[in-house]
Amino acid sequence: MSNKEKHWEKTKGLMLITLAIWFFFGYIIFMFGSDINSASFLGYPLAYYMCAQGSIIAFVVLIFWFANKQEKIDEEFGFAEKGDD
C-alpha cells in the first residue's frame, strides 16, 4: 500500500469513530429519551439536559478532538501543510 493509501485508511478510520460518537450523542440518547429522563444531572432531568447542553458540549469537544487527531495523522504520513498558523 502506498503512503497515500495508508493515510487515507487512517483518515477513514478516524472519520468513522467521529461519526459513531456523533451518532451516540445525536441519536442513541434521544431514542431512549423517555427512559433516561427520570435520571438527573445538575438537578435537570437527563434527557432535557442532554438536548439543552450536554450533546451540544459533546459536539464542540468532539470536533476539537477530531481536528487534533487528523493533524497527527497528516504529520505521521508527511502530508501536513508547511508554514501556516
Partner 1 sequence: MFKGNFIDNLPRIYGTYTGGFLVFIILMAIAEQAGMTAKTIGILFVAFTVCIYALIGYLSRTVQVDAYYVAGRQVPTVFNGMATAADWMSGASFVAMAGGIYFGGYTYMAFLVGWTGGYVLVSSLLAPYLRKFGCYTVPDFIGTRYGGNFARFCAVVVLTLASFTYVTAQINATGTIASRALSIPFELGVWVGLVSILLCSMLGGMRAVTWTQVAQYIVLIIAYLIPVFWISNKSGFGFFPHFMLGEEVARLGELESQFGLVKNAAADIKSAGVPGGLKSIAVSHSGVPEGGMAAWKFISLALCMMVGTASLPHILMRYFTTPSVKAARKSVAWSLFFIALLYTSAPMLATLSKISLMDPNLPTGIIGKPIAEIMQIEWVNAWINVKQAYIADFNGDGMLQLNEWFMRGDVVVLATPEVAGLPYVISGLVAAGGMAAAMSTADGLILAIANALSHDIYYKIIDPKADVRKRLLVARALLIVIGAAGAYIASMRITSILGAVAWAFDFAMSGLFFPLILGVWWKRATRQGAIAGMIAGLASGTAYLIYVYPKFMGNAPWLGIDHLRFGIIGASVCLVVMVVVSLMTEEPDKATQKMVDEVRIPSGKTILGKQH
From the CB of 83, what's the least distance to partner 1, in Å?
9
Contact 55, 26 (CB under 8 A): yes
Amino acid (1-letter code) at residue 60:
V
- Chain positions contacting partner 1, by CB under 8 A: 4, 7-8, 11, 14-15, 18-19, 22, 25-27, 30-34, 37, 40, 42-45, 47-48, 51-53, 55-57, 59-60, 62-64, 66-67, 70-71, 74, 78-82, 84-85
From the CB of 1, what's the least distance to partner 1, in Å?
13
From the CB of 34, what's the least distance to partner 1, in Å?
4
22-57: string of b/e by CB count within 10 Å (b at 16+)?
A: beebeeebeeeeeebeeeeeeeeebbebbeeebbee
